[in-house]
Structure 1
Amino acid sequence: MPALDSKAILEGRKPGSRSYGLLIGIFVSVLCTLGMLGYLLMAGLVTGGVSGVIGFLVSLVAAVIPVAILIPLILMLDRLEPEPGSMLLFAFLWGAGVAVGASFILNTAGMQLGTVPLFGADLGTFVSTAVGAPVVEESAKGLVLLVLLWRRRYEIDSYTDGVIYAGMVATGFAFTENVLYFLTSYFEEGFFGMAFTFVLRGLIGPLGHPIYTAMIGLGVAYAAMRRGPMRLVAPVAGWVAAVLLHALWNGSTIFGWYGLGAAYLVLFFVLVAIIGVAVQDRRRQVAAISYYLPPYTPTGLVSPADIRMLSSMGGRRAARAWASRNAGVRGRRAMQDYQLAATELALLHQRLDRGVARPNWEGRRDAFLALMHVAREAFLGRVQAPAAPAWAPSATDSGFLRRSDFSHVIAQAQARRGFSGPPPQAPPGRPPVR
């Protein structure tokens, strides 16, 4: 298999290049995350000594649990065209470090220097919680989405992509914030108070931050996928919606459990709407695959059967299992590259029709086709007769097969249909159809 930088092709980079801006962003975010966690550890040590350190460690473990649940759920929304892992990591770490750190400083300063002196202790704390915190926190989380819109707008192909990145930054934010809240509850009310806070924040309302920030993600996705003046308004509208939802949840506590229940119901309906958007995006992506890939059938890289395989998650899983049987782990990885390159090729044409394709899109198209070709050579493997793909009605209905490898299968099929004679061969002087 010729050497191709498949990761660079799929991420839209020049082969062999590195995204130093992304690496710097990850590095800075890691430092901020470690700084926040180190601050909380020192606060626990100063406040409670050994007991405080134990409280911090328990809080840290408790905060990991919602993250372990949320991230797989978020990624399930975008299995057809998964986003680059490095960008998802950057979004998560930004939320866990930069956004939390900035919010902690600004919220504390705003309460101590603004709302409390102006409104008094009780009302000032409520105003800061219900108004100040939503504005500051959604701005800090949304900033990274604007950075992605500026630097990586061509990675955002659907509204679901915006929700994915928003969900990752919000989950990172909630992780560090939960450590703070759990540790505070531990010092104020002991392990019982920590357990109650864990149930409330980690089990009952873990989707709060992802739902708020998803509004900004939807606005940013609109700006990435559309032209015209509304693309400038959409991120701002998303930010306003995020702040309002966040303020609704924070402010509902003044009305007790009834207020909390009403806010929870509103967020539930918003979540259902987000899932509906993801479902519609999946249908649009499948439609793009079915519409834009058939013209590439003459290349031999795809066939109608292969396009049907690419259009369903079950078909994709079956194809990866088939490639794994033929060529092991290397084959499975090559099939994943093939599937993602084919999907990106369809979405590239979709962006072209919308008028938002990147410059030199032809070079990106050719890179996808080259990756599909090289990947196919890898997952065919070196066995004498690869297993026929289950999704293809017959041995020659898939672009993954060499007719010469399946002469015995073709002969058997012809015999069952009443034909006789040798299996079809490639024309003299030409290589077998691939």
Structure 2
Amino acid sequence: MIPYITAGLAPALGLLCFFYLKDEYEQEPLSSVIRCFLFGALLVFPIMFIQFAFQEEGYFQSIYMQAFIQTAFIEEILKWLIVMLAVFHHVHFNQRYDGIVYATAVALGFASAENILYLISNGVETAFFRAIFPVSSHALFGVVMGYYIGLAKFNPKRRNTILIYSFIFPFLLHSVYNLILLTQQSWLFYLVPFMIFLWVLGLRKVKKANLKQGAYFQKNIAS
């Protein structure tokens, strides 16, 4: 069991450390980040139950329903709700980049638990593939979600609109990822460039969040 847990956790923890250390101004308390990670991991069980229940009722027979609703919508809306309920109004959520840290922690908590269960069922030899594609994609969906949640936190006039973006964009990205896997025979040919796009997008959001926070600090110092 230990090899499965280690192989399942390692990529998620590595990615979480990477994005946590990308915060250039004020890193979040580890206790808050770990709590979000654990909340994300616990999400696996209600998500599996909901997906199984709907599938048993025959709601997800279409490939598009499976791609958009069975996985992308259910997973992203519950991750979004956890971030909103657990940390959006928390005192430690005090800068724009914090949204990325917390949303990525929730996403990677979910990805690590899902990964461990998958490795137990399919073998530890699939760990490298899982790290490169599913775990990394969940992290990057979390980065996009967290970027917009961070924007919404400090933009009360447009908060509701930006919060919609914070769900819609990762949901659509997740749906495209699923569609590639479900509809393309040579899925690797399409998935590799899509993952490169996700990494470029995610790292740009990281850079923009830090730049916005830097501008905010300079403005406060000047005033």
The TM-score with structure 1 as length reference comes to 0.47
Name the residue aligned to 2:22.
Answer: 77
Show CA shifts across 1:308-347 (max 9, x none): xxxxxxxxxxxxxxxxxxxxxxxxxxxxxxxxxxxxxxxx
Show CA shifts across 1:115-161 (max 9, x none): 36xx3xxx57x743553111111111111111146532772411x22
Match of 1:170 among 59, 82, 107: 107
* Pairwise CA distance, 1:277: 3.0
Pair 286,214 (structure 1): closer, same or farther in 2 beyond 3 Å: closer
Pair 68,238 (structure 1): closer, same or farther in 2 beyond 3 Å: closer
Match of 1:274 among 199, 202, 205: 202
Show CA shifts across 1:241-269 (max 9, x none): 11111111122123446434324423422
Secondary structure, counterpart of 1:221 in structure 2: helix
Name the residue aligned to 1:222.
Answer: 151
The whole-number CA distance in structure 1 between the counterparts of 2:12 and 2:38 is 12
The whole-number CA distance in structure 1 between the counterparts of 2:40 and 2:168 is 19
* Pairwise CA distance, 1:274: 2.7
The whole-number CA distance in structure 1 between the counterparts of 2:13 and 2:150 is 26
The whole-number CA distance in structure 1 between the counterparts of 2:220 and 2:167 is 34
Show CA shifts across 1:365-418 (max 9, x none): xxxxxxxxxxxxxxxxxxxxxxxxxxxxxxxxxxxxxxxxxxxxxxxxxxxxxx
The whole-number CA distance in structure 1 between the counterparts of 2:113 and 2:220 is 43
* Pairwise CA distance, 1:163: 1.2
Show CA shifts across 1:95-127 (max 9, x none): 011x111111101111112336xx3xxx57x74
Secondary structure, counterpart of 2:156 in structure 1: coil
Show CA shifts across 1:268-315 (max 9, x none): 2233233223223334444444453467xxxxxxxxxxxxxxxxxxxx
The whole-number CA distance in structure 1 between the counterparts of 2:219 and 2:77 is 39
* Pairwise CA distance, 1:226: 0.5
Match of 2:75 among 137, 143, 147: 137
Name the residue aligned to 1:161.
Answer: 98
The whole-number CA distance in structure 2 between the counterparts of 1:131 and 1:246 is 10
* Pairwise CA distance, 1:76: 1.7
Match of 2:178 among 247, 250, 268: 250
Corresponding letter in the other structure for 1:165: Y
The whole-number CA distance in structure 2 between the counterparts of 1:219 and 1:285 is 13
Higher relative contact order (CA 8 A, sep 6+): 2
Name the residue aligned to 1:198.
Answer: 127
The whole-number CA distance in structure 2 between the counterparts of 1:280 and 1:138 is 22
* Pairwise CA distance, 1:199: 1.9
- Number of residues paired by the alignment? 223
- Structure 1 segments, 4+ long, off by >4 Å, are 287-291
**Runs of 5+ in structure 1 lacking a partner?**
1-55, 187-193, 296-434
**2:35 pairs with 1:90:** yes
Corresponding letter in the other structure for 1:144: I
Larger Rg computed on CA atoms? 1
CA contact (8 A) 2:152 2:162 kept: yes
The whole-number CA distance in structure 1 between the counterparts of 2:133 and 2:146 is 23
CA contact (8 A) 1:215 1:238 kept: yes
The whole-number CA distance in structure 2 between the counterparts of 1:250 and 1:166 is 20
Pair 149,58 (structure 1): closer, same or farther in 2 beyond 3 Å: closer
**Runs of 5+ in structure 2 lacking a partner?**
none
The TM-score with structure 2 as length reference comes to 0.86
Name the residue aligned to 1:181.
Answer: 118
The whole-number CA distance in structure 1 between the counterparts of 2:209 and 2:144 is 16
* Pairwise CA distance, 1:221: 1.5
Name the residue aligned to 1:5.
Answer: none
CA contact (8 A) 1:153 1:224 kept: no
The whole-number CA distance in structure 2 between the counterparts of 1:267 and 1:241 is 15
* Pairwise CA distance, 1:234: 1.6
